[in-house]
Amino acid sequence: MYEHINSPVNYGGVTLKNPIVFAPTSLGVSQEEMTQRLVRIAHGGCAMIILGDVPVGRHGFGPSLYTKKGFAFYRSLAEAVHKYDCKLCAQLHQSDSDLKAMLKYVPGVLTKKITPQELRPLLNEQVGPYITGLSREKIHHIIDSFGQAAVLAQKAGFDLIQIHGDRMCGSFSSALFNHRTDEYGGSAENRARFAVEAVQAVRRRLPDIPIDYKLPVRQENPAYGKAGVVESELSVFVPLLEHAGVTSFHVTLANHSDLSDTIPPANHPEFGQEGCFLKFCDQVRRYTSLPICGVGGLTRPDFVEEQLASGRIQCAAMSRQLIADPDWPEKVRSGRVSELHRCVRCNKECLGGMMAHRGVHCIYEKKENVS
């Protein structure tokens, strides 16, 4: 039963004890609590945790790899999850928000005149001008920082690097945001250049490390996502990224629209079904034979097993399902499927908790606390 869910897999050069991965998920809790929660997820049997939003530069929203404190945090997290034979992957993240442009919204946010929901589209409006106006000197500095951050991440104990192909890589990729007229804009090849050079910066410094690329696909009809790579340009981007050194792809819908599009609830008009983004994996598959990790509404063991067995995906990443039940892999392994807390994709306490600054939680925690 569930032979593929319970078998090791080679993911771009690293052997995972099984194909179940904790998808990158910012938890919005203290570092201490984050460590506890991630160790809990590792204990539940998944083979790899992708740590969301590890900043590429010295300053960012997450702990900095460049400071003693930040580095120590990552090192102790790696040691803790390795105890459960769980790999740790650093999602290297470079924001595409224009910090100077953001400052004018600070008073509105502090006085609660601007809600987080209202802030998002306001920030998105700044992305195009910011990317288009970024100096080449700054671009080269950021690209080099991907390499520097990867070296530090490996020293801290991360086993893989994931390049976050949304955010700055994704906005450079997108003709909707990128209106540059130099070698970083214009044709699809040029718009791929930032991401390709970021991958190369890691590969040059770390010839052997597996590099996963979070590849966000922009859907045109009906339109969803603004950054990332439109389906018709995957034939350009995927081979260029592979040639630059990518060893696997983590495929999902592109960002910069509503968060509930990339984290879709069960009643979403377009992505409400289980395995909602797997069709993008099929599109990427046309251009590469590298391992592909699917994500999005993967909750039911039978369905996940089918996708793995057919070879459609090599790994199955779960965010909300492992928040709802960190023991999903272990319960499936030991024949306790009837005991699973199935994520119902309500978004109430996970995305809802994040948006309300309460931290990411789950409706099942409340039920457990009550009983």
Ligand X SMILES: Cc1cc2nc3c(=O)[nH]c(=O)nc-3n(C[C@H](O)[C@H](O)[C@H](O)COP(=O)(O)O)c2cc1C
Residue 54's beta-bridge partner residues?
92
> How near is the Cβ of 181 to ligand X at its closest, in Å?
30
Residue type, 53: D
Span of 41-49, 133-141, 174-182, 341-349 interacting with ligand SF4 by CB under 6 A: 341-349
Residue indicated by tokens 């910066």: 201
> How near is the Cβ of 304 to ligand X at its closest, in Å?
11
Q: What are phi and psi of 25, to 5 degrees?
A: -145, 110
Three-state DSSP at 165 gives: coil
178: number of Cβ within 10 Å: 22
Q: Where are the alpha helices (DSSP H) in the chain?
A: 31-43, 68-82, 99-103, 106-110, 116-133, 136-156, 167-173, 188-205, 234-244, 259-262, 278-285, 301-309, 320-324, 328-333, 351-355, 363-370
> How near is the Cβ of 183 to ligand X at its closest, in Å?
27
The answer to the question of residue 114 lying near ligand SF4 (CB under 6 A) is: no
Whether the Cβ atoms of residue 23 and residue 295 lie closer than 8 Å to each other = yes
Residue type, 34: M
> How near is the Cβ of 277 to ligand X at its closest, in Å?
7
Q: Which residue lies nearer to ligand SF4 by CB, 41 or 324?
A: 324
Q: Examine the residue annotation and report whether 191 is marked as an active-site residue of this protein.
A: no
Q: What are phi and psi of 229, to 5 degrees?
A: -110, 125
The 32-71 contact track toward ligand SF4, x by CB under 6 A, reads ----------------------------------------
Residue type, 162: Q
Q: Which residue lies nearer to ligand X by CB, 284 or 351?
A: 351
Site for ligand SF4 in 290-329 (CB under 6 A): 320, 323-324
The 119-158 contact track toward ligand SF4, x by CB under 6 A, reads ----------------------------------------
Half-sphere exposure of residue 256: CA atoms within 13 angstroms, side-chain side: 32
Which of the choices ligand SF4, ligand X, none does residue 354 contact, using the CB cut-off of 5 to 8 A by kind? ligand X
Comparing C-alpha atoms, which of 152, 143, 144, 131 is closest to residue 54?
Answer: 152
d(CA 74, CA 51): 10
> How near is the Cβ of 250 to ligand X at its closest, in Å?
8
Which of the choices ligand SF4, ligand X, none does residue 234 contact, using the CB cut-off of 5 to 8 A by kind? none
| Interface residue list for ligand X (CB under 6 A) | 23-26, 52-53, 91, 164, 214, 252, 262-263, 295-298, 318-321, 350-351, 354, 360
The answer to the question of residue 193 lying near ligand SF4 (CB under 6 A) is: no
Catalytic-labelled residue, pool 40, 58, 136, 167: 167
Which of the choices ligand SF4, ligand X, none does residue 52 contact, using the CB cut-off of 5 to 8 A by kind? ligand X
Whether the Cβ atoms of residue 271 and residue 225 lie closer than 8 Å to each other = no
> How near is the Cβ of 265 to ligand X at its closest, in Å?
10
- Residue choice 152, 251, 343, 354 for contact with ligand SF4 (CB under 6 A): 343
- Closest-approach residue to ligand X (CB): 52
Catalytic residues: 167
